[in-house]
């Protein structure tokens, strides 16, 4: 690797990525392994497909099955992650759900499900790792997955908008407190990406056309599209980047 690119290497680091079995989380896991990191993938279900992708490139991957809708799983995650490769250096809060429904019909159950995973878990899992990082003084990286709905209201997804707006706010709030410990807290705001999350939108021809015609790049994003930003924010190259949400959106926010 050319010397000036070494700052992007994740060699010798360990990354824990939530929601590792599909979509953007799977893409980030594979990219981190390719950049040299040991990767721990947290998911409710088997991450075999992710594991296969990483094995194919000679990387290290450990799966950790946990249901992130309940914050009581956090001590188990921290303990198991420590057993896998020793210290975790990078946390990617990627797992998230979306519930589409007119605002007048949203149930408390659906509201809580979205907020618990997309917002409460992001905060308390970050807190759990940051406690250890502040104590051992070796720093750490937190990368939260935000959304276009961290900036905009969206349509028929009020709980999701609330949670992703909170993710951008938390990214700033935690950076303010933890930058002094060499902990970089940043976020990536993906635009409209072709994953399970947008399956319903993409199969609604009218909404799909409306969205596509508004994206300057003229296409849906892919998991690979966010991997450059994810590697950058996890690497030494981002040492002085704190509290920022980087949009990877094909130009959506520029419109």
CA distance 124 to 152: 25
- Minimal distance in Å, beta carbon 7 to ligand NAD? 26
- Minimal distance in Å, beta carbon 19 to ligand NAD? 3
- Of 126, 100, 121, which is closest to residue 207 (Cα–Cα)? 100
- Minimal distance in Å, beta carbon 113 to ligand NAD? 8
Q: Which residues contact 140 (CB under 8 A, 6 or more apart)?
A: 88, 89, 90, 91, 129, 130, 133, 181, 182, 183, 184
* 203: three-class secondary structure by DSSP: helix
Cα 214 to Cα 78, 210, 220, 248: the distances in Å are 41, 7, 11, 15
Stretch that binds ligand NAD, among 30-38, 62-70, 174-182, 204-212 (CB under 6 A): 62-70
Q: Which is nearer to ligand NAD, 87 or 202 (CB)?
A: 202
Q: Per rule CB under 6 A, is residue 226 in the interface with ligand NAD? A: no
Q: Per rule CB under 6 A, is residue 69 in the interface with ligand NAD? A: yes
Q: Give residues 36-55 in contact with ligand NAD (rule: CB under 6 A).
A: 43-44
Instruction: Please identify which residue in 15, 24, 54, 229 interacts with ligand NAD, judged by CB under 6 A.
Output: 24
Choose the catalytic residue: 85, 160, 181, 192.
160
Q: Compute the C-alpha angle 107/126/152, nearest 5°.
A: 50
- Minimal distance in Å, beta carbon 23 to ligand NAD? 2
Q: Which is nearer to ligand NAD, 147 or 227 (CB)?
A: 147
Active site residue 160: yes
Q: Which is nearer to ligand NAD, 71 or 134 (CB)?
A: 71
* 141 touches 238 (CB < 8 A): yes
* 221: three-class secondary structure by DSSP: strand
Residue indicated by tokens 């399970």: 196
Q: Give residues 181-200 in contact with ligand NAD (rule: CB under 6 A).
A: 190, 192-193, 195-198
Q: Report how far apart the first and last C-alpha atoms of the chain are (Å, whole number).
A: 37
Q: Which residues bind ligand NAD (CB under 6 A)?
A: 19, 21-25, 43-44, 67-69, 94-97, 117, 145, 147, 190, 192-193, 195-198
> Could you give the residue numbers annotated as active site?
160
């Amino acid at each position: 690797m050319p010397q000036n690119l070494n700052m992007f290497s994740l060699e010798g680091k360990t990354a824990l990525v939530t929601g590792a079995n599909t979509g953007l989380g799977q893409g980030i896991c594979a990219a981190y392994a390719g950049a040299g990191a040991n990767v721990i993938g947290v998911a409710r279900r088997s991450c075999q497909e992710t594991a296969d992708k990483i094995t194919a490139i000679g990387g290290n991957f450990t799966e950790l099955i946990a249901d992130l809708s309940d914050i009581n799983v956090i001590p188990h995650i921290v303990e198991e992650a420590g057993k896998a490769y020793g210290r975790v250096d990078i946390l990617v809060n990627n797992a998230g759900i979306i519930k589409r429904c007119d605002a007048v019909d949203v149930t408390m159950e659906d509201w809580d499900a979205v907020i618990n995973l997309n917002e409460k878990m992001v905060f308390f899992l970050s807190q759990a790792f940051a406690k250890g990082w502040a104590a051992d003084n070796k720093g750490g990286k937190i990368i939260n997955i935000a959304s276009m709905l961290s900036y905009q209201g969206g349509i028929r997804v009020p709980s999701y908008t609330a949670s992703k707006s909170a993710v951008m706010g938390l990214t700033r709030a935690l950076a303010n407190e933890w930058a002094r410990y060499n902990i970089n807290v940043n976020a990536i705001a993906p635009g409209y990406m072709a994953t399970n999350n947008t399956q319903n939108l993409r199969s609604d021809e009218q909404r799909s056309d409306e969205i596509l015609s508004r994206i300057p790049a003229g296409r849906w994003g892919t998991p690979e599209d966010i991997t450059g930003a994810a590697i950058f924010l996890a690497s030494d190259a981002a040492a002085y980047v704190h509290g920022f949400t980087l949009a990877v959106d094909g130009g959506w926010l520029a419109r």
